[in-house]
Structure 1
Amino acid sequence: MVGQCFILLPLARCQENGNADLKRKRRWAKLFDQLDLNKDGRIDILELRTGLASRGVSRSSVDKIVHAGDTNQDGELDFEEFSQYLRTHERQLKLMFSSLDRNNDGEIDAAEIQHSLHSIGLDISRKEADRILRSMDKDGTMTIDWNEWRDHFLFNPLHNMEDVAHYWKHSMILDTGEQLRIPEDLSEQSKSSVWRQLISGALAGAVSRTSTAPLDRLKVFLQVHGSFPGTSNVLNSFQSMVKEGGLGSLWRGNGINVLKMAPETAIKFTVYEQIKCILHGNNATGHLKLHERFIAGSLAGAIAQTAIYPLEVLKTRLTLRKTGQFSGIADCAKQMLQRESIRAFYKGYIPNLLGIVPYAGIDLAVYETLKNSWISRNTDSANPGVMVLVGCGAVSSTCGQLASYPLALVKTRMQAQASVKGGPHLSMTALFQNILTQEGVPGLYRGLSPNLLKVIPAVSISYVVYEYMRKVMGVGVPR
């Protein structure tokens, strides 16, 4: 009898495993049939993108699936390749599920999510853990079983808990051409990942600023002169720029605008990290509260601006220069030193510094309000998604610019006024009074239109280039 049990138990297990394999293959066959839109027995990348779009799978994730599963390199997946990819991926997902399921009860709760993320250096609140849980909990039990976990991540090419953490808590460095926001969770990553991400953000900002440089030059001219010299309206200002200095004149001042990005980004992040350590002590991985982020961001921005401010003044002078006035950045700096002394490099410093506070405060407050409003309306999603974050960033940046624009205008006029031979050198207060007297309140917003026009393209270009550079440098993507 005992011998029979020893024989029957392995047979029962084999039968059970065989049934599980059969069910899994049937499930994969059903998925394959749904994705094979033209019913030719193969799935190409376009069919996969179309079929997985409703599941919220990104184009980059689809590309990774095809790359990983296409063993014969024909650009398509047959059923065998599709099944092999899912078999391998489910095995990885099972290992991640087991690592999360600390009490081995076959289910993951919010506390286990918190603990797992804490173990890789990412601290989240219970509320955030509950939101992550609800995004995967299909039966309303406030726990995740294996089937829910597998179905949620089946077509997300994630390899480890770090990948899952980045999926749950995505961060971006987006440059609107005015101020660079430091992502909330950037400092929760490894140092090498942080600096690769900062480089990606700086390169994205460089491309973004170069693409919108003509609008930026027009803005500076409108701030200082009201229009391009010799024109009566804004519409023909671009034509006048090209006529005066050729097509390349549209990008005057852009070189130094791009050049100052790298040191400004590095200083801003380094100072932000130091302030975060002061606020949180040894708990460097803790989240900053909204007011703490405002303080840290404002101070980091002020110190970074102080360090690179001479480059800001040079950028304004080079933007406004006439053809042949300076041979380059060094010549411009040399002439300023000879004619105006070192103080010329800090013209407009006070209004620039004052402008950081309303910009940073309103930008952050509006961004958080919009993001949290979206989250409260979409409780089934743990991650707002990049397009929501880009939209929030564009709106919040616009609001911040509206609040700080008069100070930015006065700063630019102060930077430029020393270059006007024999022109008056007015203080910040005197400039404000002069503008209000001669031009009224609208005078404080000259150049606002091209400045706002460049926000959406700047954010969009910055995002596209940033995502591409993240992939190239292997930042926050499955490897």
Structure 2
Amino acid sequence: MAPCILATESGKYPGVSLDSCKSKLCISVLEQKKPFASVTMSEDKPFEKKPFASVTMSEDKPFDFLRVLRDGIIAGGTAGIVVETVLYPIDTIKTRLQAAHGGSKIHWKGLYSGLAGNLAGVFPASAVFIGIYEPTKQKLLKLFPENLSAFAHLTAGAIGGAASSLIRVPTEVVKQRMQTRQFTSASGAVRLILAKEGFRGLYAGYSSFLLRDIPFDAIQFCIYEQLRIGYRVAAKRELIDPEIAVIGAFAGAITGAITTPLDVLKTRLMTQGSMKHYSGLLSCTHTIIKEEGLAALWKGIGPRVLWIGIGGSIFFGVLEKTKALLAHQNSSVDLKSDSLKQ
């Protein structure tokens, strides 16, 4: 920088032009202002591996919405099934703790009660969420400035969560009724809920579910994406599987702890059945605080943080692995297609 300044002021260093100095100065300033969670990575030194959900968008190929949608559905559904199967007992314990009024006894049997029926809903719900999240995220990353990439992740997470809630809520209602031993089979639960409470019974606690899950999905995926981008930039390489797992666990645990009160309200509204202890979200909040104290809103926080922390580790690990496998398959198909064209 010093020779550049002297050349412009006193005419020394005649071999250095003013225009080149200005150009170098601009480049230096721009390099110092790159944000931590940058969406784009260095173009001159690309990483050796490019994952399916790469932070950067390909410049030489058009955005293939249908392919991203398809791969997101497959990866999301696979990750959802694995997580739900492995962690279902912890989720059951958490639900029973939250549903218990006062000093009610907690049952420890039948921790896998309702798993089969729940998986039938988890797969499409997870598939819809990731199937919508991935293309939405990639489109928004092109629209938002680099230093506002977090808003793209937040928005995509909220949109994906809202869309998948149409499947997730009935699934959650049936699951939690079975976890609290109100029913012994998913089909029986659906039939009796429809008979006693109508179609609206399958969407009991829908408002509390949205209040919990839309912020949860948006925050969790934003934390995960930003940590992954930041770590990737700092390490100057692709993340390995254990690193992805740790980041996923951290994002899940933090988000799970923050949203525990909303989860308690959702559980109470979904498991009250036709008894109608609570008339709505505000009524539920007021009644719990009045009868059981403020601490009751944090019931089940231990199992919830453990469940979602481990779940985040498994979910994001399986998600990224599945997307990487699909990306490899897609690359092979593209290479064959290109060779046939030639």
Query: Fold-level match, TM-score > 0.5?
Result: yes
Aligned to 1:411: 266
CA deviations over 1:199-233 (Å, ceiling 9, x no partner): 244223212211111111001001110699535xx
Q: AA paired with 2:253?
A: T
Q: Give the SS at the match of 2:277.
A: coil
Matches within 5 A, 1:40-439: 128-130=41-43, 133=45, 167-169=49-51, 171=53, 191-192=66-67, 195-196=70-71, 198-225=73-100, 230-231=105-106, 237-238=107-108, 241=109, 249-272=110-133, 289-322=149-182, 325-326=183-184, 328-375=185-232, 377-378=234-235, 381-418=236-273, 422=275, 424-439=277-292
Contact kept, 8 Å, 1:222 with 1:228, in 2: the verdict is no
- Give the greater-gyration-radius structure (CA): 1
Aligned to 1:54: none
- Cα deviation, residue 433, structure 1: 1.1
CA deviations over 1:84-117 (Å, ceiling 9, x no partner): xxxxxxxxxxxxxxxxxxxxxxxxxxxxxxxxxx
CA deviations over 1:428-457 (Å, ceiling 9, x no partner): 101111122223232111111112222344
TM (normalized to structure 1)? 0.51
CA deviations over 1:386-409 (Å, ceiling 9, x no partner): 332322221112222222221111
TM (normalized to structure 2)? 0.69
Contact kept, 8 Å, 1:218 with 1:228, in 2: the verdict is no
Are the structure 2 counterparts of residues 413 and 331 from structure 1 closer, same or farther at C-alpha, using a change threshold of 3 Å? same
- Count of aligned residue pairs for this structure pair: 289
Are the structure 2 counterparts of residues 332 and 230 from structure 1 closer, same or farther at C-alpha, using a change threshold of 3 Å? same
Matches of 2:297 and 2:135, distance apart in 1: 36
CA deviations over 1:175-204 (Å, ceiling 9, x no partner): xxxxxxxx9979966845763563244223
Q: Find out whether 1:450 has 2:286 as its counterpart.
A: no
Matches of 1:276 and 1:372, distance apart in 2: 14
Matches of 1:388 and 1:277, distance apart in 2: 23
Matches of 2:219 and 2:240, distance apart in 1: 22
Q: AA paired with 1:199?
A: I
Aligned to 2:24: none
Matches of 1:467 and 1:291, distance apart in 2: 21
- Cα deviation, residue 129, structure 1: 1.8
Are the structure 2 counterparts of residues 457 and 361 from structure 1 closer, same or farther at C-alpha, using a change threshold of 3 Å? closer
Q: AA paired with 1:452?
A: V
Q: Give the SS at the match of 1:212.
A: helix
Matches of 2:98 and 2:42, distance apart in 1: 48
Contact kept, 8 Å, 1:213 with 1:250, in 2: the verdict is yes
Q: Give the SS at the match of 2:238.
A: coil
Contact kept, 8 Å, 1:358 with 1:403, in 2: the verdict is no
Percent identity for Structure 1 against Structure 2: 22
Q: Give the SS at the match of 1:252.
A: coil
Q: AA paired with 2:296?
A: G
Per mean C-alpha deviation after superposition, the further-off stretch among 306-315 and 459-468 is 459-468
